[in-house]
A and B are shown apart, each in its own frame.
Chain A
Amino acid sequence: MEEELFMKLMEIVGSKLCVASDDGERVHGQIAAALKEGKKVKVSFESVESLTSAFLNSAIGQLYGEFPEEKIKSGLSVCDIETDDLDLLKRVVDTAKEYFKDPARVKGARKEILGDPDGR
């Protein structure tokens, strides 16, 4: 059975405040690297006290510019998350899907993040 990587937000960020876009970027780097390698990732929100859309857009929203939706759905999961935080995450995910409906944005994101010169 394929091994699932377990990532605890609080440990990656080093704080219970998951609010800054820069901190989200760090989380994103780890999730994206794992998904790129075909790994499954489970992200734990345990002990997170504050969460913002800015953080989640960086950490998770931008994945939709790099990976197909199906790959995220099958490769990424969350746990230990409060209901209101889950609701915020859903809003961020829906907004990201909408944002990346524009193919030019997807192409730009892949070029910038994955270093794919053709943005494919």
Chain B
Amino acid sequence: MEHIKLQGEIRSDYAGFNSLVNFAARLASCEFEHIRVDMSGVRWMDANMCAPFGGILYKLSRQLNTVSLTGLAPGMETILSKNGFLSNYGREKTQDTYGTTIDYKRFEPKDGRYFGSYVETHLQGKGLPHMSAALLKKFRESIFEIFSNSVIHSDTKFGIFSCGQFFPAKHRLDFSIVDLGVGIRENLRQKAGLQFSAIEAINWATEGRNTTKTGPIPGGLGLKLLRDFIGINKGRIQIVSDKGYWEFANGAVATSELAVPFTGTAVNIEINTADEHTYCLASELSPENVF
């Protein structure tokens, strides 16, 4: 029996991700154990952080451990039941009265269609904000770009995890997509022979037309498009991969190194739901001169 305590506040920020990667590192070598995760010291968890947390717990179960969660405070239990997270750990899913949650789900890389209908279904709930049609389209497409990036680059054997939460008072909607694949740094090393630190690797992947793609299908736009959109929207992107924590907000990038590496890549996007931009560029383009 392995007993481990998770504590503090698990928010979508450096400290929140650092807590989770430390937690994962402490249990990384466990096999054939019953792992009891004592949640009594967790004062708050942003619901979208269920995606990285769920990914870590799922990997433990694939290492033939039995995982149980104990000591959840009633408020925490409510948050994690409404989005279906605790349904994986023996609790009933409870009604989301205000309709502000986007369910926690795990997908296989081949589940692109299923992921598509999940996004379509969950981005039009009663409690979700009224967003302009242009913003909703951009947001949906950004989510699909992140998912596609995981499918194409991560080589994940454990699937792709996602979850979201709307914070009405802040006009913010957070959505996280997490894979437990090779991570950006290792992908660059394997595919392009580039030796970067984890933070340099994330910078490289989010800039210019850089791509590790080889073979007949070009690539290298997904994360740049996301960055362009979030810049205009005045939202926020966080990317965690290996030991790198990378955040883009207010037009600026901030980076930090995590205490231990995260095996895989987590992307969280936070959009400003009050944004009324049209996102139709005043372009000279016409269908006649696109090729």
List the A side residues contacting B193 at CB < 8 Å. none
Contact assessment for B144 and A62 in the assembled complex, using a CB-CB cutoff below 8 Å: no
**Is A34 part of the binding interface, using a Cβ–Cβ cutoff of 8 Å?**
no
List the B side residues contacting A57 at CB < 8 Å. 217-219, 221
A98 touching B209 in the complex, CB below 8 Å, given contacts A21-B151, A54-B219, A73-B291: yes
Q: Give B275 Cβ to nearest chain A Cβ, in Å.
A: 15
Contact assessment for A72 and B225 in the assembled complex, using a CB-CB cutoff below 8 Å: no
Task: Give bound CA distance, A115 to B280, whole Å.
Answer: 40
A93 touching B225 in the complex, CB below 8 Å, given contacts A15-B116, A19-B141: no
Q: Give A22 Cβ to nearest chain B Cβ, in Å.
A: 6
List the A side residues contacting B281 at CB < 8 Å. 83-84, 87
Interface size range of chain A in the complex: 35 or more
Contact assessment for A109 and B285 in the assembled complex, using a CB-CB cutoff below 8 Å: no
List the B side residues contacting A99 at CB < 8 Å. 209, 211, 213, 218-220
Contact assessment for A64 and B283 in the assembled complex, using a CB-CB cutoff below 8 Å: no
**Is A112 part of the binding interface, using a Cβ–Cβ cutoff of 8 Å?**
yes
**Contact indicator per residue, chain A 54-88, by CB within 8 Å of chain B (1) or not (0):** 11011001101110010011001111011110111
**Is B287 part of the binding interface, using a Cβ–Cβ cutoff of 8 Å?**
yes
Contact residue among A17, A66, A84 (Cβ-Cβ distance under 8 Å from B144): A17
Max count, chain A CB within 10 A of own CB: residue among B120, B225, B283, B287? B287
**Which secondary structure characterizes the binding site on chain A?**
helix
Task: Give bound CA distance, A102 to B147, whole Å.
Answer: 28
Task: Give bound CA distance, A57 to B209, whole Å.
Answer: 13
**Is B74 part of the binding interface, using a Cβ–Cβ cutoff of 8 Å?**
no
Contact assessment for B217 and A108 in the assembled complex, using a CB-CB cutoff below 8 Å: no
Contact residue among A49, A77, A100 (Cβ-Cβ distance under 8 Å from B218): A100
Contact assessment for A77 and B116 in the assembled complex, using a CB-CB cutoff below 8 Å: no
Contact assessment for A95 and B220 in the assembled complex, using a CB-CB cutoff below 8 Å: yes
A87 touching B287 in the complex, CB below 8 Å, given contacts A53-B222, A62-B216, A108-B215: no
**Is B71 part of the binding interface, using a Cβ–Cβ cutoff of 8 Å?**
no
Contact assessment for B145 and A109 in the assembled complex, using a CB-CB cutoff below 8 Å: no
A53 touching B283 in the complex, CB below 8 Å, given contacts A19-B112, A21-B152, A108-B216: no
Contact assessment for A20 and B291 in the assembled complex, using a CB-CB cutoff below 8 Å: no
Q: Give A76 Cβ to nearest chain B Cβ, in Å.
A: 6
Contact assessment for A22 and B221 in the assembled complex, using a CB-CB cutoff below 8 Å: no
Which residue of B is nearest A20, CB measured? B112
A92 touching B141 in the complex, CB below 8 Å, given contacts A54-B148, A76-B291, A108-B215: no
Contact assessment for A93 and B141 in the assembled complex, using a CB-CB cutoff below 8 Å: no
**Is B140 part of the binding interface, using a Cβ–Cβ cutoff of 8 Å?**
yes
A86 touching B283 in the complex, CB below 8 Å, given contacts A21-B151, A98-B209: yes
Task: Give bound CA distance, A32 to B216, whole Å.
Answer: 13
**Contact indicator per residue, chain B 218-261, by CB within 8 Å of chain A (1) or not (0):** 11111001000000000000000000000000000000000000
Q: Give B135 Cβ to nearest chain A Cβ, in Å.
A: 12
Contact assessment for B120 and A112 in the assembled complex, using a CB-CB cutoff below 8 Å: no
List the 9 shortest-distance A-B pairs measured between CB atoms, nearest first.
A20-B112, A54-B148, A109-B216, A99-B218, A53-B221, A19-B144, A17-B116, A96-B218, A61-B218
Q: List 30 A-B contacts (CB under 8 A).
A: A15-B113, A17-B144, A20-B112, A20-B113, A20-B151, A23-B112, A49-B137, A49-B140, A53-B221, A53-B222, A54-B149, A54-B219, A54-B222, A55-B148, A62-B217, A62-B218, A65-B218, A76-B291, A78-B287, A78-B290, A83-B281, A83-B283, A84-B137, A84-B279, A86-B287, A95-B220, A99-B211, A99-B218, A99-B220, A108-B214
